[in-house]
A and B are shown apart, each in its own frame.
Chain A
């Protein structure tokens, strides 16, 4: 494996709510290596987006990082001051958001977005030079350069999402966090978008943390997959072993619930139950109320994420 770009160590994020404390990320340990695509999957509300926003330190209030470290390039991001963190965002770590319809300023042209992003981080670059770079970037994304002075509403959803990638790539960030980048695109645009993302990833050896609930997207792009459930990482493996032989019962259930055109309908299994209430999480393993293999121990003790002999990681007492 190559060098790590980002190391998350025992990260915990709390959302104090009126009803009680929600621990959206609980003691998460995760390393992202240079040049890889790490898929982070899980159901809605499992804390995967929280994790992404926590890395950029842009959690919405009342969300708060209550413990752990996020080591990026040898520095703990949680110890940087606001200005240092701001300089890092966009330049070293950037983000692609879920909804391309609303993530561009409706009153700013596409070119202005790119020029502004470049000039924010490289004030020495002249307006014209930045505009030239913007044109190249837009061309590279497969958008005709005569569209660069359009307003976001004049572009299609797919084009806007490509512009978002462009913004994330504009300064050759070391890490790109893509939070559900294809969720609001239709399947054809999604396929084109994934192709583009893969091409760019190979071409520039990008490091991408791909947050999604879409197993298909992960299978398409990711090198490794981390599965998250109720704020905890429950399994971490290379993409093929994980798909062929999921270890954690939750991962098994997740994969079974993906429709497959080659199988008949009765093979599609929907997991029983629903994700736990994070204000009053179940004791022991948080998955045990929905787990068909649940044992006495699962109800009492929480399994840690441990490395298997195969080099995979899982958090389940079945593999003790």
Chain B
């Protein structure tokens, strides 16, 4: 036909992302604040992982008088063994983050493909999988995690697996439900009428439309897993009592509250809350932004 037709260059991924977007709105504030916390904690963890001397004191050794209140020497105070709480929080992020990330990745890697296939193909496999997932889901999450953690024993990997099992059904149910509804969309029917293969429909029509929800749930899941990890550590199912761990520090600091010594509990608690909040905000904000339908002006 007309050779005058100009073919525009395909834009880059970043170009696509930035084009025609508004740079204000609640979703941006949430993403930026949440993202800041997420990036901060991830970088902090990475640095502390590779450089042992980062904190002002050795987190596992006595650094001053026990129960020193917050001061310039110990900005978050010291615990009952005289260890610097600020240093323990810096190094405690490692375990929490490793466990939370690993468990969320595990449950995503298992739950998403199962949900996609189960929802798309339906039939007997779908019924069996749904039954299994619903049984897991109907179990109280923390209790199941406790049972599994006790069964598997200590260690980052074992804890991650214990927590991942609890969250697999969340991904599965989310993805399966979305697949069931997207499967009925007219554009899927139109794609079929144009001869698209089954896997093309699943991969290019259904999966991309599920991603925004997966991202939110992934981030919310990390937030949840942080709290679950702290819960497991709190009751002594953590990795190793001598290593700094926010949940375990709260456990040991809890009895000091009655004596008016608030700092051994408060600072690890704030750390858990703010990191969990950061991941939730990041996930929620990102989900609003990632969805091109919502950016229509």
Residues of A within 8 A of B (CB): 56, 58, 86-91, 94-95, 97, 99, 102-108, 111, 116-117, 120-121, 131-132, 135-140, 145-146, 148-149, 151, 153-154, 164, 167-168
Q: Report if A104-B190 is in contact (Cβ < 8 Å); known contacts: A89-B195, A149-B10.
A: yes
Q: Is B7 engaged at the interface, CB distance under 8 Å to the other chain? A: yes
Residues of B within 8 A of A107 (CB): 208-209, 292
Q: Report if A89-B1 is in contact (Cβ < 8 Å); known contacts: A99-B186, A105-B205.
A: no
Q: Which of A120, A148, A153, A154 contacts B194 (CB 8 A)?
A: A120
Residues of A within 8 A of B208 (CB): 105, 107-108
Q: Which of B1, B185, B293 contacts A153 (CB 8 A)?
A: B293
Distance in angstroms between the alpha carbons of A145 and B8 in the assembled complex: 7
Q: Report if A97-B195 is in contact (Cβ < 8 Å); known contacts: A131-B7, A148-B8.
A: no
Among residues of A, the one whose C-beta sits closest to the C-beta of B192 is: A58
Q: Report if A140-B1 is in contact (Cβ < 8 Å); known contacts: A90-B193, A117-B194, A120-B197.
A: yes
Among residues of A, the one whose C-beta sits closest to the C-beta of B193 is: A95
Q: Determine if A136 and B2 form an interchain contact, defined as CB atoms under 8 angstroms apart.
A: yes
Q: Which of B6, B186, B209, B293 contacts A97 (CB 8 A)?
A: B186
Q: Report if A167-B2 is in contact (Cβ < 8 Å); known contacts: A99-B186, A131-B7, A132-B7.
A: no
Q: Which of A106, A135, A164 contacts B190 (CB 8 A)?
A: A164
Distance in angstroms between the alpha carbons of A99 and B196 in the assembled complex: 19
Q: Report if A94-B194 is in contact (Cβ < 8 Å); known contacts: A132-B7, A145-B8.
A: yes
Q: Determine if A95 and B190 form an interchain contact, defined as CB atoms under 8 angstroms apart.
A: yes
Q: Is B29 engaged at the interface, CB distance under 8 Å to the other chain? A: no
B213 CB to nearest A CB, Å: 13
Distance in angstroms between the alpha carbons of A91 and B196 in the assembled complex: 10
A121 CB to nearest B CB, Å: 6
Chain B 191-219 interface 0/1 with A at a Cβ cutoff of 8 Å (1 = within): 11111110010001100110000000000
Among residues of B, the one whose C-beta sits closest to the C-beta of A177 is: B193
Q: Determine if B292 and A146 form an interchain contact, defined as CB atoms under 8 angstroms apart.
A: no
Residues of A within 8 A of B51 (CB): none
Q: Determine if B209 and A87 form an interchain contact, defined as CB atoms under 8 angstroms apart.
A: no
Residues of A within 8 A of B196 (CB): 90, 116-117, 120
Q: Is B138 engaged at the interface, CB distance under 8 Å to the other chain? A: no
Residues of B within 8 A of A137 (CB): 1
A215 CB to nearest B CB, Å: 25
Q: Determine if B6 and A146 form an interchain contact, defined as CB atoms under 8 angstroms apart.
A: yes
Q: Determine if B7 and A105 form an interchain contact, defined as CB atoms under 8 angstroms apart.
A: no
For the complex of A and B, the 7 pairs showing the least CB-CB separation, nearest first, are A90-B195, A90-B194, A89-B195, A95-B193, A139-B5, A103-B190, A102-B186
B293 CB to nearest A CB, Å: 5
Residues of B within 8 A of A (CB): 1-2, 5-8, 10-11, 185-187, 189-197, 200, 204-205, 208-209, 292-293, 296
B104 CB to nearest A CB, Å: 23
Q: Determine if A121 and B195 form an interchain contact, defined as CB atoms under 8 angstroms apart.
A: yes
Q: Determine if B189 and A149 form an interchain contact, defined as CB atoms under 8 angstroms apart.
A: no
Q: Determine if A136 and B190 form an interchain contact, defined as CB atoms under 8 angstroms apart.
A: no
Q: Determine if A102 and B187 form an interchain contact, defined as CB atoms under 8 angstroms apart.
A: yes
Among residues of A, the one whose C-beta sits closest to the C-beta of B184 is: A60
A123 CB to nearest B CB, Å: 11
Q: Which of A121, A139, A151 contacts B292 (CB 8 A)?
A: A151
The interface centre, meaning the residue of B1, B8, B195 with most chain A CB atoms within 10 A of its CB, is B195
Residues of A within 8 A of B186 (CB): 97, 99, 102-103
Among residues of A, the one whose C-beta sits closest to the C-beta of B206 is: A105
Q: Which of B2, B6, B191 contacts A105 (CB 8 A)?
A: B191
Q: Determine if B204 and A116 form an interchain contact, defined as CB atoms under 8 angstroms apart.
A: yes
Distance in angstroms between the alpha carbons of A107 and B192 in the assembled complex: 17
Residues of A within 8 A of B8 (CB): 145-146, 148-149
Distance in angstroms between the alpha carbons of A131 and B5 in the assembled complex: 12
Q: Determine if B187 and A91 form an interchain contact, defined as CB atoms under 8 angstroms apart.
A: no
Q: Determine if A106 and B187 form an interchain contact, defined as CB atoms under 8 angstroms apart.
A: yes
Distance in angstroms between the alpha carbons of A95 and B292 in the assembled complex: 27
Among residues of B, the one whose C-beta sits closest to the C-beta of A152 is: B187
Distance in angstroms between the alpha carbons of A89 and B195 in the assembled complex: 4
Instruction: Please name 19 pairs of A and B residues whose Cβ atoms are closer than 8 Å in the assembled complex, sorted by A.
Output: A91-B195, A97-B193, A103-B187, A104-B187, A104-B190, A106-B209, A107-B208, A107-B209, A108-B205, A117-B195, A120-B194, A120-B200, A131-B7, A135-B6, A137-B1, A139-B5, A145-B5, A151-B292, A153-B293
Distance in angstroms between the alpha carbons of A110 and B2 in the assembled complex: 19
Q: Determine if A89 and B193 form an interchain contact, defined as CB atoms under 8 angstroms apart.
A: yes
Among residues of B, the one whose C-beta sits closest to the C-beta of A147 is: B8
B193 CB to nearest A CB, Å: 4
Residues of A within 8 A of B197 (CB): 86, 120
A284 CB to nearest B CB, Å: 36
Distance in angstroms between the alpha carbons of A174 and B192 in the assembled complex: 17
A74 CB to nearest B CB, Å: 20
Distance in angstroms between the alpha carbons of A105 and B196 in the assembled complex: 13
